[in-house]
Structure 1
Amino acid sequence: MFVSSRFTARRRSLAAASVATALALTLAACGSSSDSSSMPGMDHGSKSSVSSSPSTSQAMGDMPGMDHMASGNGLSDTQDGYRLTSKTAALPSGKQTTYRFTVTDPDGKPVTGFAPDQTKRMHFYAIRSDLSGFQHIHPTMAADGTWSADLTSLAPGSWRLFASFAPDSGPGKGKDFVLSRTVTVPGEATKTPLPAPAGSTQVDGYSVTVKGEPMAGMAHPLTVSIAKDGKPVTDLQPYLDTYAHLTAFHEGDAAFAHLHPTTKVTGDHGGPDLAFNAELPTSGNWRLFLQFQTGGALHTAALTLHVG
């Protein structure tokens, strides 16, 4: 997908910082969808579901669902003084529900000004702890800074909810944040095994192929090709100012990564090949969720990618 030059500049700056951090760690070590057919519970477009282990901060007397974990991968509710807050620690299963949250600034005040990122002021994701039940939502904000994210039916288990945003004023202006909290969905939870790494998958009659061998902590090109009935697809429509939106979650901890598109948008004629700049910070298996649009319909494909 495509972003503005200002957004791209911020992303490149963050990518450079991540690579430098990974190199430093390496040197230190040397010294010492509506449901998708590819995965149960996956949803397209504007709803979400996430699982994760119970919040350790809860036991310490914090607000329900609050997490204090490593920053930079979305596994924290706070970064640089900005905090994702919510009074909700549990959500019902089997029906549509709304998750309400607020982002506060270093002074503890609700943030109400956000810079558009791929046409939206807030991107919200939900993923179950076994990396099933993916939802990508664009919530709405009230005048007091309270956001409401409408989620489709959630399966019982632990879920992690991510908020991706960029303040348009204050000390965080011009910086991208990804913060998250966990919630529990009551009921008998059945773990869905993560599908084995594969180079291709099927969704809604489309074949999606991913080529590339990314290495942990390093920027690496990734190519996605889309076909239907054995023929290359060339009628992809822009979705969020790009031809495809690609996010990834790490097996085990559900760490978040957004893969940056580099293919230029030229009307409703995208495809069949889409280029991404993949920077996945940790080795292991990552579950990739690719969203693309044709004929006004949004499709969500999922596959597992192994990162060395």
Structure 2
Amino acid sequence: MRRHPQIPGRMVSGLLALLLASAVALLAPAQPAAAHGTLAESTPAGGATVREPVTAVRLFFTEKAAANAYFTITAPGGTRVDNGWSYGEPKPLAKPVREYFLVNGQFEPREYMTGFPAVVAVAHLPAKGQYSVSYLSMASDGDAVRGTMTFRYNGPVTAAPQGWTPPSTQPDPALLAATEQHQTSAQGSAVPTTPADPSTPTAAAAPPAESTGESGPGARAWTGWAVAIVVAVGLAGFVGWRRRPARTGKPTGRGRTSHATPARRGAGPRSTNKTVGARTGGGVGAPAAGGKQRPRTVASARTVATTDGASTDALDSEPRPDVDAAAGTPGSRLSNAHLTLFVGGLVVALLSGFGLARIATADESPATGDARPSAGGPPASGQVGSAIDGHQHPAGTGPHTHPGDGGTGQALATGTTVSAGGYALQPLERSQSPGVRADYRFRIVGTDRQAATRFAVVHDKPLHMIVVGRDLSGYQHLHPTMAPDGTWSVPLTLARPGGYRVYADFSVTTADGKQQPLVLGVDHTVPGAHSPTALPPAQAQATAGPYAVSMTGTPTVGVTAPMHFQVSADPTRPAQLEPYLGAYGHLVVVREGDLGYVHVHPEPELVDGTVKFWLTAPSSGRYRAFFDFQVAGKVHTGEFTINIS
């Protein structure tokens, strides 16, 4: 039976080089985000459960908070209970923090061993449940420092001081202006470490490997990478040993003899063995002079470096009998079986090492601080996620997350433009008659002028369409369907004449397979006499069908603040909320004037019986908030006016 041809050693070498290069690219750490003044630890710790009354929350940063830093503490009912803040005495950190600084185009690590506390006074503890602590400050290098941590209180309720009222202050305008100017999120590259000698300056360290921008490679990470490299090198050495021909002239097995051919100076390879039928077209065992058959010769070229620096092309020639060498016989060629085992082992080694490294870096994330979780991962204990591109999420919630706070009101509120990120919203209809049901059609067009057709499913739908009047009335949350040519359509009825804004909220899948979240907006007109509806006054209660909806919380410009929504069937009985589009509620906030749009996603589970959102208000002004929820299979919307001064 004819055997498969053997794989040349040169091909093995090339394959090995390719695999090693891939390993380097795979295991190479990502560049960290340079951020300073990050939160290192807190008392109580983020995510901790406290059973005794606390009078203050201590936040330990890697440098002193700015004099005009802003702090809030929010009780489970959404009421603020902070009562001012002050500096505390520095103390050694339980775990040193590593921050990265961009110096001459390279990230250099710096270890911080001391925490500088900001002591936020707690006026009282009005209820058991989850308390939220938010902060906004400015680091010495101009980076913004913002974030939120939570802890749960299960101790006795304490009374408020006599004459005390909950604060409603907003951050210092100078602080907000500075954060907007630098447009940074302060989601830090803080890495707790345990150096052997804290007094010794840290040598250049590899940046964090996780997409969170939080974890640096620890001992187990380096161990995983080392395992992959050592095993790969070992396999490479084994292959090299198996390929090394014997030079003793003794039989190497099964009638096969290896000969060493002396090197020759010259321009090209030349064999000293005249029987080269296998290379010149002669068959196996082709007759030589005298009618006798000679063994077939297999030649392989190599370059030999001489002592005078010149290179000599040599041709190793070894006769091989007609009998095909069995797999595993040492020689100039590697068998298919060995190649398969080698490649499989190398891949397993690399993947194992990479897996160990990923596990290690994930385990070594800081317990508190400015968290930026990877997409789809669970939220870090006691921390919240990010806000940008008109979307705001708790950490790791849903099928996608976004990279840090935008730092500006415009970045946090989108939908004011018809195009962004290389895509444009192209409506096929720009007006319709009042009270008439008509199909609204549009396309999402890329820079190639072709309609996009690849969209990621986010919260159970590939695209969410929000319609609201320019006077912030007539809210609708719709879900169009897409035709094969990329045309979206949905039945739309607009009862009143006037101007409307149509938002397309989606994540398009780009050519390289990445998801790009976008919110695009376009105007739509209903002809006729229009009388704008006055915006209702701000209040904490709303009615949605048969349900009463209450909103608690203090929206804050530039600061991530908790907002709670509670739905009641009657004054004594909460409604049984059902998941709607993958969550217990959705919050759309639209700014009066430019109709800036923010879509906020809640915590994955109810918090103390409420739907909890983390809202970062883009700017001062008036807003209309639309809270969608589902009970008994039907969707309802509670509408609220929010004034932010």
Tell me, yes or no, whether TM beats 0.5.
yes
Supply the distance in 2 between the matched residues of 1:171 and 1:87 (Cα, whole angstroms): 29
Is 1:116 aligned to 2:457, yes or no?
yes
Which residue among 280, 283, 289 is the counterpart of 2:620? 283
Task: Report the more deviating stretch, 159-168 or 172-181.
Answer: 172-181
Match of residue 11 from structure 1: 401
Q: Which secondary structure does the structure 1 equivalent of 2:401 belong to?
A: helix
Task: Report the more deviating stretch, 195-204 or 210-219.
Answer: 210-219
Match of residue 302 from structure 1: 639
- The Cα of 1:204 is off from its aligned counterpart by 1.4
Change in CA separation of 1:7 and 1:171 when aligned onto 2, cut-off 3 Å? farther
Task: Report the more deviating stretch, 74-83 or 163-172.
Answer: 163-172
Contact persistence 1:226–1:232 (CA under 8 A): no
Change in CA separation of 1:151 and 1:271 when aligned onto 2, cut-off 3 Å? farther
Deviations along 1:189-214, one digit per CA (max 9) or x if unpaired, are: 11110001111111212111111111
Supply the distance in 2 between the matched residues of 1:120 and 1:255 (Cα, whole angstroms): 22
- The Cα of 1:172 is off from its aligned counterpart by 8.6
Residues 1-308 of structure 1 mapped to structure 2, 5 A cutoff: 5=377, 8=398, 10-13=400-403, 16-18=404-406, 20-21=407-408, 73-170=414-511, 173-264=514-605, 272-308=609-645
- The Cα of 1:106 is off from its aligned counterpart by 2.5
Contact persistence 2:415–2:597 (CA under 8 A): yes
One-letter amino acid matched to 2:614: N
Instruction: Give TM-score, length-normalised by structure 1.
Output: 0.76
Change in CA separation of 1:8 and 1:239 when aligned onto 2, cut-off 3 Å? closer
- The Cα of 1:88 is off from its aligned counterpart by 2.0
One-letter amino acid matched to 1:224: F
Relative contact order, higher structure (CA 8 A, sep 6+): 1
Q: What percent of counterpart residues are identical?
A: 32
- The Cα of 1:85 is off from its aligned counterpart by 0.6
Change in CA separation of 1:217 and 1:175 when aligned onto 2, cut-off 3 Å? farther
One-letter amino acid matched to 2:452: V
Extract unaligned runs of 5+ from structure 1. 26-69
Match of residue 203 from structure 2: none
Contact persistence 2:569–2:575 (CA under 8 A): no
Contact persistence 2:506–2:517 (CA under 8 A): yes
Q: Which secondary structure does the structure 2 equivalent of 1:74 belong to?
A: coil
Match of residue 57 from structure 1: none
Change in CA separation of 1:169 and 1:12 when aligned onto 2, cut-off 3 Å? closer
Supply the distance in 2 between the matched residues of 1:264 and 1:208 (Cα, whole angstroms): 18
Change in CA separation of 1:88 and 1:202 when aligned onto 2, cut-off 3 Å? same
Instruction: Give TM-score, length-normalised by structure 2.
Output: 0.37
Deviations along 1:50-83, one digit per CA (max 9) or x if unpaired, are: xxxxxxxxxxxxxxxxxxxx99511101002111
Contact persistence 1:123–1:139 (CA under 8 A): yes
Contact persistence 1:141–1:148 (CA under 8 A): yes
Contact persistence 2:412–2:598 (CA under 8 A): no
Q: In the comparison of the two structures, how many residue pairs are matched? A: 253
Supply the distance in 2 between the matched residues of 1:4 and 1:290 (Cα, whole angstroms): 24
One-letter amino acid matched to 1:246: L
Larger radius of gyration: 2
One-letter amino acid matched to 1:199: A
Task: Report the more deviating stretch, 276-285 or 133-142.
Answer: 276-285
Q: Which secondary structure does the structure 1 equivalent of 2:601 belong to?
A: strand
Deviations along 1:269-294, one digit per CA (max 9) or x if unpaired, are: x9841110112212111111111111
Supply the distance in 2 between the matched residues of 1:109 and 1:7 (Cα, whole angstroms): 32
Contact persistence 1:235–1:271 (CA under 8 A): no
- The Cα of 1:299 is off from its aligned counterpart by 0.9
CA RMSD across the alignment: 2.4
- The Cα of 1:218 is off from its aligned counterpart by 2.5
- The Cα of 1:260 is off from its aligned counterpart by 2.1
Deviations along 1:211-264, one digit per CA (max 9) or x if unpaired, are: 111112322111111112102425111100111111111112221111221142
One-letter amino acid matched to 1:180: G
Deviations along 1:3-54, one digit per CA (max 9) or x if unpaired, are: 95466584342xx232x346xx9xxxxxxxxxxxxxxxxxxxxxxxxxxxxx
Supply the distance in 1 between the matched residues of 2:643 and 2:553 (Cα, whole angstroms): 10
Q: Which secondary structure does the structure 2 equivalent of 1:226 belong to?
A: strand
Deviations along 1:100-151, one digit per CA (max 9) or x if unpaired, are: 1000122221100100010000000111110000011000000000000211
Change in CA separation of 1:225 and 1:299 when aligned onto 2, cut-off 3 Å? same
Match of residue 34 from structure 1: none
One-letter amino acid matched to 1:11: T
Supply the distance in 2 between the matched residues of 1:201 and 1:134 (Cα, whole angstroms): 15
Supply the distance in 2 between the matched residues of 1:213 and 1:182 (Cα, whole angstroms): 31
Supply the distance in 2 between the matched residues of 1:115 and 1:7 (Cα, whole angstroms): 15
Supply the distance in 2 between the matched residues of 1:139 and 1:109 (Cα, whole angstroms): 19
Contact persistence 1:161–1:183 (CA under 8 A): yes
One-letter amino acid matched to 2:622: N
Extract unaligned runs of 5+ from structure 2. 1-374, 378-395
Supply the distance in 2 between the matched residues of 1:118 and 1:183 (Cα, whole angstroms): 26
Q: Which secondary structure does the structure 2 equivalent of 1:281 belong to?
A: coil
Supply the distance in 1 between the matched residues of 2:470 and 2:513 (Cα, whole angstroms): 29
Change in CA separation of 1:173 and 1:232 when aligned onto 2, cut-off 3 Å? farther
One-letter amino acid matched to 2:405: A
Contact persistence 1:232–1:271 (CA under 8 A): no
Contact persistence 2:432–2:527 (CA under 8 A): yes
One-letter amino acid matched to 2:639: A
Compare the two structures and name the one with the higher helix fraction: 2
